[in-house]
A and B are shown apart, each in its own frame.
Chain A
Amino acid sequence: MSSRQRLRGVIAAPVLTVLGGILLWGFSGAPAFGDFHGAYGDLLNRIAVPQRHTTNVVTAIVFDYRGFDTMGEEFILFASVVGVVLLLRDIRKPAGSKDDAVQSDAIRLFGVLMVGVVVVVGLWLAAFGLVTPGGGFQGGVAIAGGIVLVFLAAGYRPWRAFGREALLDPFEGGGAASYVALGLAALIAGTPFLHNLLGNGTTGTLLSGGSMTLLNWAVAIEVAAANLVLYTEFLESYLVPHLSER
């Protein structure tokens, strides 16, 4: 630790103590732990199941009651991925790197076996997002995590089969676009934006939620592809120059 850093720490500590004190003072006005009665949350806990036939109220909020916000959220992710791609574009050098193969057979075997397991868990999280804990965002991240295991277990060259922008971009753009398309379809049908057009379905089954199911999958595809684009960009900006130096 340099002297400059230590000086900063000495200055910061009392300031942060005061800040923490002010935060706690502010929290003293908040409801006591476990004693919160938000009218909106209580209401949704009661009406979401009869009204929307989805047993996961959080997902019902994400894709229905606050579906418009989720569209914005999805485009935040989309915009940031575009930003990362633009920032890292110049760093990349032409491919032609040596393969940074994984040496241990045990890691290869276990990793490759886990690819399928993790992707299936991701698909399951996304598919049952409206029924049990999960949803498109969570499932999408798990699917991307499963696919990135290909790189971790088998090395860069096998990963390139998945980590290509030409392959991922249509999924990313398509996922984001189909969310908007589903919203516009409701408008064209003469109902409010993002209105559920497909009916509510049977409570507690995969066929519950109607349009929400489609929105859920649109988000799952978008999130999985967005994460994979990010991994691809960071891996290439790091690995390709790194490997070609050796």
Chain B
Amino acid sequence: MTYLAYAVVAWVFAVGVYGAIVSRNLIHLALCLTVTQSSTYILLLTLGYRHGGRAPIFKGVKLGTAAVDPVVQSLTLTDVVVSVTVIALILALALDVHRQSGSVDPDEISTLNG
């Protein structure tokens, strides 16, 4: 059980990269990148987890109660924001590519421009 969470991280990462490699559509590619990045959320939250720890929110909870690491949680928040900005830019670029070349298939785009 101990390494299950880490195995999930490696699996999600590999699946995302595999999708990006076989992708034939820029929008699909952007989604694969998001899947790959999602593995980092799982990794961060896994690292910060503590057995028996609650969420690091102390409303109505005695101070000193065991809680999970709050630092990795705020890093995950940053990670999510970056992910959103990246996917927004990639999708905008995909629209731009589609307008220029009439296709969202990376292979066709390179032959058209080559």
Contact = CB atoms under 8 A, between A and B. Distances in A.
Nearest to A86: B92
Interface string B1-32: 11111110111011001100110100000000
B101 interface: no
Contacts of A76: 81-82, 85
B57 A38 contact: no
Contact of A33 (B4, B82, B93): B4
A9 B18 contact: yes
B21 A87 contact: no
B47 A36 contact: yes
A44 interface: yes
Q: Which of B14, B18, B72 has the most CB of A within 10 A?
A: B14
Interface residues of B, number: 57
A19 B14 contact: yes
Nearest to B23: A5
Interface of A: 1-2, 4-5, 8-9, 12-13, 16-17, 19-20, 23-24, 27-28, 30-38, 40-42, 44-46, 48-50, 55-58, 60-62, 66, 69-70, 73, 76-77, 79-81, 83-84, 87-88, 90-91, 131-133, 135, 137, 204, 230, 233-234, 237-238
Interface of B: 1-7, 9-11, 13-14, 17-18, 21-22, 24, 46-51, 53, 55-60, 63-64, 67-74, 77-78, 80-82, 84-86, 88-89, 91-93, 95-96, 99, 107
16 contacts: A4-B107, A17-B14, A20-B13, A28-B3, A38-B48, A40-B71, A44-B71, A49-B63, A55-B58, A57-B70, A58-B73, A62-B77, A84-B89, A135-B77, A234-B95, A238-B95
